[in-house]
Structure 1
Amino acid sequence: MTHNDTIVALATPSGAGAIAVIRLSGEKAITIASEIFHSISNKQLKKQKSHTVHLGHIKDGNRVIDEVLATIFKNPHSYTGEDVIEMSCHGSPFIQQEIIQLCLRTGARMATAGEFTLRAFLNGKMDLSQAEAVADLIASDSEASHQLAIQQMRGGFSTEISRLREELLNFASLIELELDFAEEDVEFANRDDFQKLISKISLVLKRLIDSFATGNVLKNGIPVAIVGEPNVGKSTLLNALLNEERAIVSDIAGTTRDTIEDELNIGGIGFRFIDTAGIRDTTDTIEGLGIKKTFEKIEQAQVVLYLIDSSQFIQNNKKLENLKIEISKIKNQYPQKALVVIGNKADKISDETSQLMRSEVENLHLISAKTGQGVEDLKNTLLDFVNTGALRNNETIVTNTRHYDALLKALEEINKVQEGIDIGLSGDLMAIDIRQALYYFGEITGEITNDDLLGNIFANFCIGK
């Protein structure tokens, strides 16, 4: 994989806009720009200082294509670590393509997806986990996902991993040194200190692995399934949460026959609400398929909103007892999921009935999806299910599946090292497991990598970044 030529791409979204930015990076970036850019004050780009901006025209021979601003970033003080030129032109798609084609004819080639960030990684401007955070930052669509990407891009996660790797590497070197003096039975690596380090690494790895459950939902949004019998107001609740007529509402039982999904940002956290078909016994084939999908969505959800019609519980103790049985069934069937029991149509019941229901059903939320009563309180309850303490305290949270997999493998090797210490295993055998743990640490930050891994990672980037 060679990256010593000069690349060009549109750095802003394609399509018409007020301004577009075209980026050149590589050894000949300034030379190529100098051939097509003509300063209005007759300055030569090659002689200008880094981090300066110049007004001029892009010309193809004598033909003026556009008036642009050219910004110079000389190596190594640029995003890629190479010479970089960014040309801000008018946002016409025709102008964008004319300038890019002119750059290609003058000696550049089109950048591949993520190639600017790949060059930043290869030139030591950022490690691999920080490079991946760039893609997450671009894709972030909520305050939480944005904050997670910013934390990782600033290097908090990679710094923690690199520090552990360096400490383990130091001990690994001492154990390897012992192997050279095996006949003399010397011990360069203090076993007590080594035990403390292994325990410390194990604790950190477990904390990072456990954080993935939180990080994954914060990054991708928290799926919330709205379930219950037909005609209890599930679709009305979805519309009330989204503040728009997203789902069809009618008095006819079984109106919702397929799942309806939409996203809502609450307090900076993304929630993906899923309105499901009403659960009941039915002979209707289509409705039956919808009910089957309801249970599939419950399996996928992190939070289950179990909706009931409060107005049906007026002086109906049998109904109340059946409700408790149903709630118990859901808790037993889905013990890992957060369950919120919601009594809808609270505007149709008396205060006495409200008090009775609250006393009989633990943590019951009484709302009226039709009038909006209690909907904001429900949103606050959903936020309470999200463990954002680590986010507020700037603790490291893992969001990347590749990192999670490498951490699991590293912990497995560290556990083998711990077993070796416990049984008094020889240094040469422990060294094998230590090397493997170091390998997985290095995979995260990019100290150990290969072309296939880089290709898989940067293929997910947009072109121009």
Structure 2
Amino acid sequence: MSFILQDKEDTIVALATPQGVGAIAVIRLSGPKAISIANEVFKGKNLELQPSHTVHFGTIKDGDRIIDEVLASLFKAPKSFTKEDVVEISTHGSSYIVNQVIKLLIRKGARPAKPGEFTQRAFLNGQFDLAQAEAVADLINADSEASHQAALNQMRGGFSGEITSLRERLIHFASMIELELDFTEEDVEFASREDLRELVEKLLRVVEQLISSFDLGNVIKNGVPTVIAGKPNAGKSTLLNALLNEEKAIVSEIAGTTRDFIEDEINIGGMIFRFIDTAGLRETTDTIEAMGVSRTQEKMKTASLILYLFDLGDTDMVEISRDINKLENLGVPFLKVANKMDKSNHLLINSLKEKHPDTIFISAGQKKNLDLLKDKILELVNLDKFKTGNTVVTNIRHYDALTQTRESLLDVLRGIDEEITNDFLAMDIRRALHFLGEITGEITTDDLLANIFSKFCIGK
């Protein structure tokens, strides 16, 4: 690894809890002088004489002036998050107190931490690999059960373990081929080409599975974009409001009230869905409404799920069948949702049940059958693989590296088929190893690390 930690002898300080007023705030120090700097301002027990993983009550004093009564938590290297000496000072949650304490610690020799510098130090000191470090940020930002579980699995090394296993098996063959290059004149074969083919094909299957899991991982991390589409006055805004339990969208009897899309997030079964209430699909001479309809059509093309909503009191089977045919041609998964079930005639309902038995009947205005709708929405999102504990790729950087790995492995197979020389075969294997190493940090650059850790909050 080429990256060398700059200012590694510095002791860094930052607020580890969110900005703002709260019951408590935690100020974190990490570095070779963390304990001695904290001990200069902490009045209680001598922290330098205390064992690791202990908590001590005392005061923070600037000369004779008491700033606050605090708890000082002590973590001695290497048994800390950063594998350095760490002191966490719990103060009262006043922003004035926090600023006073941090300024005092800086005067005593600490410097303000950069974004993600605590986690960066943990990575560089061998606490975990780069994929696990990135999972720390994902865990902090997790806003659903699914995203939390995915980040936790990655932070505990589930994803890294699979990548490391792939690299180790490939490294063995790479070393054998490199060895053969030293004995070219003796015509000695250390690595069987058929064994290499079998290994590469196995690795490709695993890499393909990881790549294919990204679609699921992406929606777990960012939410499922779900478009509510249908004619004006089908009840799209009413449905969005009912799902949100708030009056987010304007509801009116006037057709074309929603002229642009309205978006909000809903947690269903531990998964975040980004519901988008769109302008009604119809021909219109109104310029502004026409722009909204055009945007609706674009949103439908990029959605992961469409709720096709139609008014049972104002739609016939011919129109419904025509719309369903258009949606099937679009190629996006969709649910047929019949709204205003209380206003429909039995003939239409029976006809729908016969021709489209998967239709969901609801009343958005009266909030009837919304739980059934939520269950059907969840059924369309394939969480089975995720819930069984299998590795799911959620990071675009990992996805890109895996895609490059796949191409390199395919080059290895082509090289075996074409019986290319060992030196070219070794180059393709080394390229695959390079991209796998980029994921976990065995292969990295200063710019890559700076980009990754700059996205962290300062106190992490």
| TM-score, normalization by structure 1 | 0.96
Counterpart residue number, 2:168: 166
DSSP 3-state at the match of 1:342? strand
1:22 match: 27
Contiguous gaps of at least 5 residues in structure 2: none
The one of 320, 324, 328 equivalent to 1:323 is 320
Instruction: Please give the residue correspondences for 1:36-435 in structure 2 after superposition, counting only pairs within 5 Å.
Output: 36-39=41-44, 43-313=45-315, 319-332=316-329, 334-335=330-331, 337-435=332-430
Q: Which letter maps to 1:20?
A: A
What number of residue pairs does the alignment pair up?
A: 455
Question: Which amino acid is 2:442 matched to?
Answer: E
Q: Secondary structure at the match of 1:347?
A: helix
Distance in 1 between residues matched to 2:136 and 2:41, nearest whole Å: 31
Which of the residues 448, 457, 464 maps onto 2:443? Answer: 448
Alpha-carbon offset, residue 352 of structure 1: 3.9
1:427 deviates by 1.1
- Structure 2 residue aligned with 1:33: 38
Aligned residues: percent identity? Answer: 57
Partners of 2:24 and 2:93 within 8 A in 1 = yes
Rounded to whole Å, the distance in 1 between the matches of 2:172 and 2:131 is: 23
Superposed displacement of residue 362, structure 1: 4.5
* Distance of 2:350 and 2:179 partners within structure 1: 74
CA deviation string 1:406-457 (max 9, x = no partner): 0000110000001111222221110001111110011000011111000000
Q: How far apart in 1 are the matches of 2:363 and 2:47?
A: 66
2:435 aligned partner, one-letter code: Y
TM-fit CA distance, 1:381? 0.5
After superposition, the C-alpha distances for 1:61-84 in whole angstroms (9 at most, x for unaligned) are 111111111111010000000000
2:12 pairs with 1:10: no
- The whole-number CA distance in structure 1 between the counterparts of 2:220 and 2:33 is 42
RMSD: 1.0
Aligned 8 A contact 2:35 2:47 in 1: yes
- The answer on whether the counterparts of 1:324 and 1:361 sit within 8 Å (CA) in structure 2 is no
Gaps of 5+ in 1: 314-318
Alpha-carbon distance in 1 for matches of 2:387, 2:302: 27
Quote the offset at 1:248 in angstroms: 0.8
Cα deviation per residue 1:358-381 (whole Å; 9 max; x = unaligned)? 212352111111111221111100
For 1:372 and 1:44, locate their aligned partners in 2 and report how far apart those are by CA, in whole Å: 63
Distance in 1 between the 2:287 and 2:227 partners? Answer: 22
Q: Distance in 1 between matches of 2:96 and 2:322?
A: 66
SS, match of residue 314 in structure 2: helix
Task: Tell me the CA shift for residue 200 of structure 1.
Answer: 1.1
Q: TM-score, normalised by structure 2?
A: 0.97
Aligned residue in 2 for 1:316: none
